[in-house]
Amino acid sequence: MDRGPPSRLERRLVGLFAKAVFVRGRRRTPPEKPKHPPSQEVVIEGDVGQRLVARWFPVERPRGVVVLAHPDTRWAKDWFVQRGWIDFIHEAGLEALAFDFTGYGASEGPATYPLDDVLAATRFAQAGSGFLPVHVVGVSYGACAVANAAPRLSGVKSIVLESPFPNLNIWFRDRLRRLAMDVFDRAFPKTSRFAQADENIAHALPERILFCLAEEDETTPPALTEAVARRAPQERTTLLRVPGASHLEPFTTSEEYRQALLKTWLV
Condensed to tens digits (0 to 9), the pLDDT of residues 84-127 reads 999 999 999 999 999 999 989 999 987 678 999 999 999 999 99
Is 159 inside any structural domain?
A: yes
- Residue 18 is predicted with a pLDDT of 66
The reply to whether 82 falls in a domain is: yes
Quick check: helix, strand or coil at residue 14? helix
Q: Does residue 140 sit within a domain?
A: yes
Q: Could you tell me which residues come within 8 angstroms of residue 216 by beta carbon, excluding any fewer than 6 positions away?
A: 243, 244, 245, 246
Give the type of residue at 156. Answer: V
pLDDT for residue 172 is more than 80? no
Residue 117 in any domain: the answer is: yes
Cα dihedral: 169, 147, 242, 262 (round 10): -170
pTM: 0.91
23 burial (CB, 10 Å; 0-12 / 13-18 / 19+) is: middle
| Res 1: pLDDT | 42
Angle at the Cα of 197 from the Cα atoms of 64 and 179, rounded to 5 degrees:
150
Rounded to whole angstroms, the maximal C-alpha distance in the chain is 53
- Pick the closest to residue 143 from 37, 217, 44, 55 (CA basis): 217
Supply the pLDDT for residue 14.
77
The confidence band for 141, taking pLDDT boundaries of 50, 70 and 90, is very high
Is 154 inside a domain boundary?
yes
Whole-angstrom distance, CA of residue 92 vs CA of residue 189: 42
Above 80 in pLDDT, residue 8? no
Whether residue 29 is predicted with pLDDT greater than 50 in this model: the reply is: yes
- Per the structure, the count of domains in the chain is 1
Residue 6 resides in a domain? no
- Here the CATH number for the domain that contains residue 104 is 3.40.50.1820
Q: What is the mean pLDDT of the chain?
A: 90
3-state secondary structure of 208: strand
**Residues with Cβ within 8 Å of residue 142, at least 6 apart in sequence:** 68, 69, 70, 71, 101, 114, 118
Q: How confident is the model at residue 181 (pLDDT cuts 50, 70, 90)?
A: confident
User: Does any domain span residue 4?
Assistant: no
Please give the residue range of the domain that contains residue 193: 15-24+31-266
More confident residue, 193 or 253: 253
Q: Is residue 120 part of a domain?
A: yes
Which H/E stretch holds residue 242?
Answer: strand 237-242
pLDDT confidence tier of residue 34, bands split at 50, 70 and 90: confident
